[in-house]
Structure 1
């Protein structure tokens, strides 16, 4: 499934947040969106999923404008993974993941749906937590539950809003490895808004770097994550090394003056 974002603009109370944003997501691809805080990464993810309605521009799924789709139609094609679970009523892990089947069955589920949810939990290594209360497991485990719920939608595209922002290093790597393997094995695509440039470099096929609500650079990790781009966008002097596969970044100091 091909996704195209064409000249999207968005504003909060007349304050521009996204300006003339255009990009594409190819089938079986991980696209990383990076940029400083407040640059519009999360807003762009939410506009793509129609949680927010762009002021102008269009978002197309296989040349179909998603503004003309129902909420359920969108949910069958795209799964949204927020940064964290907030304000959740007591519910088991398995019931939370079963909610991902709602776009197909309303509020009722059958054996086939349960079997698929168990398959997804097994894939994410979460079977032992299936009957645990969602509020009683760790942040890393909760993040896996959110991914499982999105996978239960059988969506072709996953939208992840800073999926590692609240996780320690081990859980960051676990979540990113899971997503990389899911995209590869299931042939789906993913867009991830990320803070960590090294995670973006390691796991994204292409990177979109944003600054002040606009796309500053886009391309493969080596072409985007350059010393000059990092200086211009983040105001940081950094070393960029290459291990023969992907660049990795060593921040040195803020740029002053």
Structure 2
């Protein structure tokens, strides 16, 4: 049972961003999509999320065509946390998290829906903010609300597009720990577009390195984080070490010679 991305191609106008990307992620796996800016990692999450339609290729989950699902069925299967923390209406935190339950209820939410909302709010530590308007929150707080909304959605696939970029260090770690725990305890497939190699090496089971729209390396972080490959992809010398079962990447910093 797995999420399969098969030979996906996508362009913004004439600019090819994804060039035949194929990837398989097993259920219960936390997979990191990594690469420099413009490598295609965020675009790939948008394709799986149904935000973008690929020019060719497909996405399947448990053998079913994900891209052919109706909007409601897609929302029951896949939860998506975008980079932007914008919410279309001026809602309270609790109301915004409830949006994640809309694929599951008819005319209005029931008791079970509100219980899932409160559980997600508690997991993200948002209890003190639940009555506040989204417009009154910081960028990091609003981003945590979007993660809570996706968790309340109760999907089988969770997509996160750089969800930690606006968070301070504490909430970066807590969010990644939470996603890892959910994938393992509930058998959820999670993909995260992320820049931090060390966060990926510590919290993720699978790492995929994208460059110029193609997958360059994939496997466990220990398998994917090859020093020569990282140097080629990022244009920076690095060292890679395994410590206490985790992979650590360190840049090799050279002093700049300033011209006089």
Q: TM-score, normalised by structure 2?
A: 0.93
Q: Is the 8 A contact 2:227 2:240 kept in 1?
A: yes
* Cα pair 2:20 2:214 within 8 Å, conserved: yes
- Between 67-76 and 139-148, report the one with greater CA deviation: 139-148
1:40-67 CA distances to partner (integer Å, 9 max, x unpaired)?
0110000011110000011111111122
Tell me, in whole angstroms, the C-alpha distance in 1 between the residues paired with 2:43 and 2:156: 21
Report the Cα offset of residue 253 of structure 1: 3.7
Q: What is aligned with 1:228?
A: 228
Which residue of the partner structure matches residue 44 of structure 2? 44
1:84–1:142 CA contact under 8 A, matched in 2: no
Partner residue of 2:21? 21
Range with bigger deviation, 238-247 or 95-104: 238-247
Q: Which residue of 2 aligns with 1:103?
A: 103
Is the Cα contact below 8 Å between 1:88 and 1:135 reproduced in 2?
no
CA distance in 2, matches of 1:244, 1:111: 44
SS in 1 for 2:252: strand
Structure-2 residue corresponding to 1:64: 64
Secondary structure of the residue aligned to 1:104 is: coil
**Structure 1 CA distance, aligned partners of 2:187 and 2:20?**
30
Partner of 1:127: 127
8 A contact 2:17–2:39 mirrored in 1? yes
Q: Offset of 1:186 from its aligned partner? A: 2.3
8 Å contact kept, 2:87–2:96 = no
How far, CA to CA, are the matches of 1:185 and 1:94 in structure 2? 25
2:217 corresponds in structure 1 to: 217
- TM-score after normalising by structure 1: 0.94
Offset of residue 247 of structure 1: 1.5
Which segment drifts farther, 6-15 or 104-113? Answer: 104-113
Match for residue 163 of structure 2? 163
Aligned to 1:139: 139
* 2:3–2:189 Cα contact (<8 Å) kept: no
Unaligned runs of 5+ in 2: none
Distance 1:54 1:156, change over 3 A: same
CA-atom RMSD in angstroms: 1.7
Shift of 1:106: 4.9
Q: Which residue of 1 aligns with 2:113?
A: 113
> Are the counterparts in 1 of residues 160 and 191 from structure 2 also a CA contact under 8 Å?
yes
Shift of 1:226: 1.8
What is the CA deviation profile of residues 109-139 of structure 1, one whole-angstrom value per residue up to 9, with x for unaligned ones? 1222112211221222222221111122233
Greater shift, 92-101 or 133-142, is seen at 133-142
Residues in 2 aligned to 1:80 and 1:246: alpha-carbon distance in whole angstroms: 27
Q: How many residues align?
A: 255
